[in-house]
């Protein structure tokens, strides 16, 4: 039996059943895309809460609306389970599990290992298996492949293996699963052909590369590029502060150059599931080869210290009003890691809050998209943003510049503002605003 042709035929006729391991921020939008294209999709996740919500047609991911998810569930095109046994009958599996860093900045690929072991347990013969989770170059070949060939199956003949990194930016509507090019690296030409065929059904453009390790490196380059440039502009902010210059004016003027410059803006740190983590995967891998990734480590050092710099700015601003951080009431505006989403992963706001509390501040916050911080280990809930709340705060710190904020209202009622996002750039300066 020609397993490759059988799989290609099933993909072409939409008879292939797709398994998604991990139905979080990455897996759920992918599952929806396949289901909308006409495939039957089964999600697997160890989180029973997610599985139950998905099976009710209730989305827990901001990029997937209930109005989109529910019809797919009701039609039977999309369902979920906590039991890996359901993968025995699927034709293709995308692994979309978390890949966090340990406190030592070493990669934790235990979720990938566990998922692969379960897939092997229920049989990979005849299946296409794609890793989407961000990881270091070599993971697909060194970690996944050996676990799938233990029963004698040959890659590219009895099963098909590839790496295709997730590239979706949460909260964006201009770049979707369909419009974002999909980088794909197969273990063999046959693996590449099948993976391109499958993803070609849900993306407008596929980008084949020579190997899974190349595709793994592509993802790390993309986010290392951002981490290094954010680190650069954050250091420029520190330089401008020392020189008595306005970093925002400098950046905006530099951005008028029509070539050779890409605009990045400073901030209170970096957050999200990619930029603070992905470069460390590459750095760790290179350390095993006795190579130091100096740009990555320097950018990480600069970015990780930005919350300390913000707290220093708050202290200086209060000091000029003859107040100390200790005992002051400080209001944080925006705690999500980026504007217009409720995603708290690696948000620098958490570090700023904890540093202020450690110095004795009475901290409260408002975020229209994050009702509470209990899941982040902080017993705080979002306060109603009123004139009284702003007026009562000794200092208001803008961390996340959600579009929902009325900056005129904020500036008109706050007695002192530390603006880490240049959110008040269009508001008349009343002498009470301190920029990053």
Quick one: 346 and 250 in the same domain?
A: yes
Quick one: 51 and 154 in the same domain?
A: yes
At which of 158, 193, 210 does a domain end? 210
Instruction: Give per-residue pLDDT as tens, 84-97.
Output: 999 999 999 999 99
What DSSP string describes 70-83? HHHHHTTSEEEES-
Quick one: 162 and 269 in the same domain?
A: no
Output DSSP code: residue 46: S
Quick one: 309 and 371 in the same domain?
A: yes
**pLDDT over 70 at 273, yes or no:** yes
Quick one: 180 and 300 in the same domain?
A: no
Quick one: 17 and 141 in the same domain?
A: yes
Output DSSP code: residue 102: P
The confidence band for 175, taking pLDDT boundaries of 50, 70 and 90, is confident
Structural domain count of the chain: 2
At which of 186, 210, 234 does a domain end? 210
Report the C-alpha gap between 99 and 294 in whole angstroms: 23
Asked if residue 222 belongs to a domain, the reply is no
Do residues 341 and 170 lie in contact, with contact meaning Cβ atoms separated by under 8 Å?
yes
The confidence band for 1, taking pLDDT boundaries of 50, 70 and 90, is low
Mean pLDDT score, 154-158:
96
Output the 3-class SS for 348-406.
Answer: HHHHHHHHHHHCCCEEEEECCCCCECHHHCCCCEECCCCHHHHHHCCEEEECCCCCCCC
**pLDDT over 90 at 261, yes or no:** yes
Asked if residue 226 belongs to a domain, the reply is no
Asked if residue 235 belongs to a domain, the reply is no
- What CATH number does residue 116 fall under? 3.40.50.720
Quick one: 262 and 205 in the same domain?
A: no
From the number of C-beta atoms within 10 Å of its C-beta (0-12, 13-18, 19+), residue 173 rates as exposed
Quick one: 196 and 289 in the same domain?
A: no
Instruction: Give per-residue pLDDT as tens, 312-337.
Output: 999 999 999 999 999 999 999 999 99
Asked if residue 370 belongs to a domain, the reply is yes
Name every residue whose Cβ is closer than 8 Å to that of residue 241 and which is 6 or more positions away in sequence: 247
Asked if residue 219 belongs to a domain, the reply is no
Report the C-alpha gap between 247 and 204 in whole angstroms: 39
Task: Provide the strand spans (E) within 114-209.
Answer: 128-131, 160-163, 182-186, 206-209
Active-site annotation holder among 96, 274, 364, 395: 274
**pLDDT over 80 at 105, yes or no:** no
Quick one: 190 and 263 in the same domain?
A: no
Output DSSP code: residue 181: -
The model's pTM is 0.91
Do residues 366 and 396 lie in contact, with contact meaning Cβ atoms separated by under 8 Å?
no
Report the C-alpha gap between 21 and 50 in whole angstroms: 12
Sheet order of strands, 417-419 included:
362-366, 329-333, 395-398, 417-419, 433-435
Residue 107: per-residue pLDDT: 87
Instruction: Give per-residue pLDDT as tens, 354-407.
Output: 999 999 999 999 999 999 999 889 999 999 999 999 999 999 999 999 999 999
Report the C-alpha gap between 57 and 69 in whole angstroms: 6
Query: Pairing state of beta strands 433-435 and 417-419?
Result: parallel
Quick one: 63 and 119 in the same domain?
A: yes
Report the C-alpha gap between 84 and 122 in whole angstroms: 8
Instruction: Give per-residue pLDDT as tens, 394-420.
Output: 999 999 999 999 999 999 999 999 999
Quick one: 251 and 166 in the same domain?
A: no
Quick one: 169 and 44 in the same domain?
A: yes
Asked if residue 233 belongs to a domain, the reply is no
Asked if residue 225 belongs to a domain, the reply is no
Which residue range is the domain that position 197 belongs to?
3-210
Is 274 an annotated catalytic residue? Answer: yes
Report the C-alpha gap between 155 and 132 in whole angstroms: 18
At which of 210, 234, 263 does a domain end? 210
Asked if residue 98 belongs to a domain, the reply is yes
**Residue whose C-alpha is closest to residue 80's, from 108, 54, 117, 49:** 54
């Amino acid at each position: 039996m020609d397993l490759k042709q059988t799989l290609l035929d099933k993909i072409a006729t939409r008879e292939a059943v797709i398994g998604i391991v991990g139905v979080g921020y990455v897996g759920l939008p992918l599952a929806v895309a396949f289901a909308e294209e006409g495939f039957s999709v089964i999600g697997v996740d160890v989180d029973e809460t997610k599985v139950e919500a998905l099976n009710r047609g209730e989305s827990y991911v901001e990029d997937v609306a209930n109005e989109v998810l529910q019809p797919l569930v009701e039609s039977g095109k999309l369902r979920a389970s906590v039991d890996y046994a359901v993968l025995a009958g699927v034709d293709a599996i995308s692994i979309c599990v978390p890949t966090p860093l340990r406190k030592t900045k070493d990669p934790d690929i235990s979720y990938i290992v566990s998922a692969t072991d379960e897939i092997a347990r229920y049989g990979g013969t005849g299946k296409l298996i794609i890793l989407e989770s961000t990881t270091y170059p070599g993971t697909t070949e060194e970690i996944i492949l050996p676990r799938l060939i233990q029963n004698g199956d040959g890659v590219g003949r009895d099963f098909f293996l590839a790496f295709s990194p997730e590239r979706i930016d949460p909260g964006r509507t201009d770049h979707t699963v369909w419009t974002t090019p999909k980088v794909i690296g197969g273990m063999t030409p046959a693996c590449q052909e099948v993976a391109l065929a499958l993803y070609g059904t849900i993306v407008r453009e596929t980008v084949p590369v020579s190997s899974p390790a190349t595709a793994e490196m592509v993802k790390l380059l993309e986010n290392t590029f951002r981490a290094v440039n954010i680190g650069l502009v954050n250091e420029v902010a520190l330089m401008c502060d020392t020189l008595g210059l306005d970093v925002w004016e400098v950046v905006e003027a530099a951005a008028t150059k029509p070539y050779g410059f890409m605009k990045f803006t400073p901030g209170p740190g970096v957050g999200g599931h990619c930029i603070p983590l992905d470069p460390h995967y590459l750095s760790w891998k290179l350390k095993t080869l006795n190579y130091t990734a100096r740009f990555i480590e320097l950018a990480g050092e600069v970015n990780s210290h930005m919350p300390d710099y913000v707290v220093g700015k708050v202290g200086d601003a209060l000091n000029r009003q003859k107040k100390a951080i200790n005992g002051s009431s400080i209001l944080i505006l925006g705690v999500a890691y980026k504007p217009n989403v409720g995603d708290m992963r690696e948000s620098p706001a958490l570090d700023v809050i904890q540093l202020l509390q450690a110095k004795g501040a009475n901290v409260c916050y408002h975020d229209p998209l994050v009702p509470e911080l209990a899941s982040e280990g902080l017993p705080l809930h979002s306060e109603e943003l009123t004139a009284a709340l702003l007026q009562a705060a000794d200092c208001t710190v803008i961390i996340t510049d959600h579009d929902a904020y009325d900056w005129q209202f904020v500036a008109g009622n706050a007695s002192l503002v530390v603006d880490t996002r240049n959110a008040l750039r269009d508001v008349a300066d009343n002498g009470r605003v301190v920029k990053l």
